[in-house]
Structure 1
Amino acid sequence: MERKEPSFTRDEAIEFVMREYGEMLKRMIYTYVKNHHTTDDLFQEVLLLVYRKWDRFDGRSQLKTWVMRIAINRCKDFLRSPFQRMKLMKDQWLEQTDPKQLEDVVLQKEQWEEIAEAILNMPVKYREVMILTFHQHLTQKEIAEVTGIPLSTVKTRKQRAREMLKEKLIEGEWTLE
């Protein structure tokens, strides 16, 4: 079981983590994000977090498990971000589309990108309701329970968010259902 050595400096710790656990960490991060560029970015963030938090490692656990926990938490934080959720939802939706209708897929992708951008540019209170509705498929009652706001407020925010979307997208040739 590895323990923090008193003479193990931050720089030495980072070198050790990269040498001993680097490839394993990258593979593990990739299983969460399934994108090589994102994996590289998150790996660098994990190394930075290990460097910053080195003085908090007390040796009660193995260095390997401590570093892995940091990496897993960073991946989960990344996947929970509203922008990432919208991107994943769009990608999943496009994968389910019949590839024979390429022109329709491209048009739908452009429309989806407009919707996603409009939602992401909304104030947080409206964005939250739209993401919980369309990504998490929660009912208005469930959204009220999850967020701790009254059901009437959820209904109002959802209606206002839809109106905002319509205003932003009114120039397009399609409508929201």
Structure 2
Amino acid sequence: MKPAGTTKKNDFSQDPAQALEQLMDQYGAIVMRTAYFYTGDRHLAEDISQEVFLRAYRKWTSFRGDSSVKTWLTTITVNVCRDKMGVRMFQEQPTDPSRMELGRTISVEEEALQRLTKSEVLQYVLRLALPYQEVLYLYYYLDLSTKEIAEATAAPEGTVRNRLHRAREALAQIMNKGEMSDGRYGS
């Protein structure tokens, strides 16, 4: 079994239609969660996911495979999210999926989004500045390396490592303050 993120292009069909199906099966949930992380809106995340896979389909034959397929799709996802959200992504926080429409059947993606939002650590992460949120999400939730994050966000790798370091420090401070004010952790 291969570790996550090491899948290369030649592990997939060369036919774009077959490759698209394989990509959607293997990375659909990751693309959806990433889009939701950036937008905080399930419907917009679904639209972005469709656009990501449409772009992947169109660019499959020109994708050289210099990076892993996961990194390539994450790069497309980040870019589509940034294009769709523009300045708004720096102002809005993701909404709680439990506030979405009730009475509907919950898809696998929606269930994954609910687990992601309910994560206690994620609630602390969402208090950080967006560049810190982004690097923590990509590093810990998608298991991307700093090099892969640099590729996905078009930031220098040194900047990514710096943001990751500062994000960890800021997260520790926020969580320590939360421990002091939250009786669940003792004193």
TMscore range, shorter length? 0.3 to 0.5
Q: Which has the higher contact order (CA 8 A, sep 6+)?
A: 2
Query: What TM-score do the two structures reach when normalised by structure 2?
Result: 0.42
Query: What TM-score do the two structures reach when normalised by structure 1?
Result: 0.44
Q: Whose radius of gyration is greater, 1 or 2?
A: 1
